[in-house]
């Protein structure tokens, strides 16, 4: 199969940083307008928060989620204004799935930015602070991680399958610690605690899922104009009601990111654009398949380069 198709991928929590999108905000009115639109919905100056000096405030889950969605949508609008090619397929990592659905026309931005603020609040309050934890496991295969988590007392499971050899586990703090020791004994190169305050994508998030189901019930969802690969099962979905259910299920289910990228590769994708701050997904994509051309577009010069390169990429495959 010719690998001439293009994917857009949207980052999740962990990509936020003070000072992000500074040059893009100066260069593109679409970025400025998007942050202003988010501020109207959220009731606070989103841009001032991003450019301030309080990383802890930015890292609060109910703040991080709308800020990252706003950043991704802002860059998507700038991409289109600069004449960027329409991608063939999209996917987002955890929260980024909401960004993908906005950019694919399935959700309105104003609905989504309020929805992910609530999602962040629900996730944060589902488990008391200190009772849950997450850790990245480097250098061990998925089957071994799943087996050792299942053998550990308490709630702990693999929740982010980010790339071959990079998996995140989560659950009750004591269970995550115990599983981490077992995984190191089994040959993991590293087990690194993550600076998060809740065990995302575990069964402990089911109360958050129930609250999200109530919040999303009244939100309009359309068939995406661009197919979006979903985290739960690594397939696309066109039925709005199934998309609604998947967004709820996603909150307490593992993120199958490696499979999502493989689905896009199998569909003929040869180039991927990371639409949001940072280059986390670019790094993961290269670990999954080194042949994939990757572009991160937070900086205006990088966005302009990607617009030109991907215009040629699509022409070559026409």
Q: From the CB of residue 28, how many other CB atoms can be counted at a distance below 10 Å? A: 21
Q: What is the mean pLDDT of the chain?
A: 95
Averaged pLDDT, 91-99: 97
The partner residues of 8 in beta bridges, in order of sequence, read: 90, 273
Give phi and psi for 161, each to the nearest 5.
-95, 85
Regarding predicted confidence, which is higher, 49 or 130? 49
Residue range 188-211, pLDDT digits in tens: 999 999 877 789 999 999 999 999
Rg (CA), the chain: 19
pLDDT at position 56 is: 86
| Residue 140 CA, distance from chain mean position | 23
Is the fold of 5-126+204-317 the same as that of 132-197?
Answer: no
- Per-domain boundaries in the chain: 5-126+204-317, 132-197
CA distance 299 to 304: 9
pLDDT at 118 > cutoff 90? yes
CA–CA–CA angle 289, 291, 297 (5° rounding)? 90
pTM for the predicted model, two decimal places: 0.95
- Beta carbons of 31 and 24 less than 8 angstroms apart: yes
Does 134 have pLDDT greater than 70? yes
- The class level of CATH for 132-197 reads alpha beta
Alpha-helical runs (H) found in the chain: 22-27, 29-42, 46-50, 55-59, 61-81, 96-103, 109-126, 142-151, 173-185, 206-216, 240-250, 257-266, 280-288, 300-317
Phi, psi of 44 (to 5 degrees): -145, 165
Task: Measure the CA angle with vertex 20, ends 96 and 10; round to 5°.
Answer: 15
**pLDDT (0 to 100) of residue 196:** 78
167, 223, 164, 173: which is closest to 196 by C-alpha? 173
Helices 280-288 and 257-266, axial angle in degrees (round to 10): 70
Residue in 50, 95, 52 with CA at minimum distance from that of residue 212: 95
**Superfamily name with CATH number, domain 5-126+204-317:** Malonyl-Coenzyme A Acyl Carrier Protein, domain 2 (3.40.366.10)
How many CB atoms sit inside 10 A of residue 287's CB? 14
**What's the CA gap between 255 and 266, in Å, rounded?**
19
Instruction: Indicate the pairing of strand 166-172 with strand 156-163.
Output: antiparallel
pLDDT in tens, 258-288: 999 999 999 999 999 999 999 999 999 999 9
pLDDT, residue 257, reads 98
Task: Please tell me the distance from the alpha carbon of residue 317 to that of residue 84, in angstroms, as a whole number.
Answer: 16
- 282 by Cβ neighbours in 10 Å (0-12 / 13-18 / 19+) ranks as middle
Per-residue pLDDT at 297: 98
Identify the active-site residue in 25, 172, 201, 313: 201
Report which of residues 61 and 175 the model is more confident about: 175
Question: How far apart (Å, rounded) are the C-alpha atoms in residues 140 and 73?
Answer: 35
Which whole number is the average pLDDT over 7-13? 96
pLDDT at position 314, please? 55
Instruction: Flag whether pLDDT at 252 surpasses 50.
Output: yes
Query: Catalytic residue at 94?
Result: yes
Q: Is the pLDDT of residue 172 over 70?
A: yes
**Cβ–Cβ under 8 Å, residues 95 and 251:** no
**pLDDT class of 318 with cuts at 50, 70, 90:** very low
Residue 107 pLDDT > 70 = yes
Phi-psi category of 83—alpha, beta or left, where left has phi over 0 and alpha has psi -120 to 50?
left
Q: Is the pLDDT of residue 313 over 60?
A: no
- Provide the phi-psi class of 21: left if phi over 0, else alpha when psi is between -120 and 50, else beta: left
Catalytic residue among 72, 94, 163, 253: 94
pLDDT more than 70, % of the chain: 97
35-88 pLDDT, tens digit each: 999 999 999 999 999 999 998 888 888 999 999 999 999 999 999 999 999 999
């Amino acid at each position: 199969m010719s690998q001439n198709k293009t994917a857009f991928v949207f980052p999740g929590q962990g990509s936020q940083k003070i000072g992000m999108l500074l040059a893009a905000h100066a260069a593109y009115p679409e970025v400025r307008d998007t942050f202003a639109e988010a501020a109207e919905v959220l009731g606070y100056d989103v841009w001032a928060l991003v450019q301030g000096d309080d990383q802890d405030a930015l890292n609060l889950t109910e703040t991080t989620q709308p800020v990252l969605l706003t950043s991704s949508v802002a860059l998507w609008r700038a991409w289109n204004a600069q004449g960027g090619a329409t991608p063939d397929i999209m996917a987002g990592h955890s929260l980024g799935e909401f960004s993908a659905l906005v950019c694919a026309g399935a959700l309105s931005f104003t609905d989504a930015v309020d929805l992910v603020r609530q999602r962040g609040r629900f996730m944060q309050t589902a488990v008391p602070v200190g009772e849950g934890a997450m850790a990245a496991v480097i250098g061990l295969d998925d089957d071994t991680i799943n087996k050792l988590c299942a053998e550990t007392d308490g709630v702990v499971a693999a929740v982010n399958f980010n790339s071959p050899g990079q998996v995140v586990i989560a659950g009750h703090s004591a269970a995550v610690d115990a599983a981490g020791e077992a995984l190191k004994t089994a040959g993991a190169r590293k087990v690194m605690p993550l600076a998060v305050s809740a065990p995302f994508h575990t069964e402990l998030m089911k109360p958050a899922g129930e609250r999200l189901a109530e919040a999303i019930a009244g939100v309009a969802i359309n068939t995406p104009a661009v197919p979006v690969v979903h985290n739960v099962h690594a397939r696309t979905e066109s039925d709005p009601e199934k998309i609604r259910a998947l967004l709820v299920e996603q909150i307490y289910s593992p993120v199958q990111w490696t499979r999502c990228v493989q689905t896009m590769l199998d569909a003929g994708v040869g180039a991927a654009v990371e639409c949001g701050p940072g280059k986390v997904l670019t790094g993961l994509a290269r670990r999954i398949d080194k042949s994939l051309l990757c572009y991160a577009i937070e900086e205006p010069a990088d966005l302009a380069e990607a617009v030109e390169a991907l215009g040629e990429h699509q022409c070559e495959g026409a």
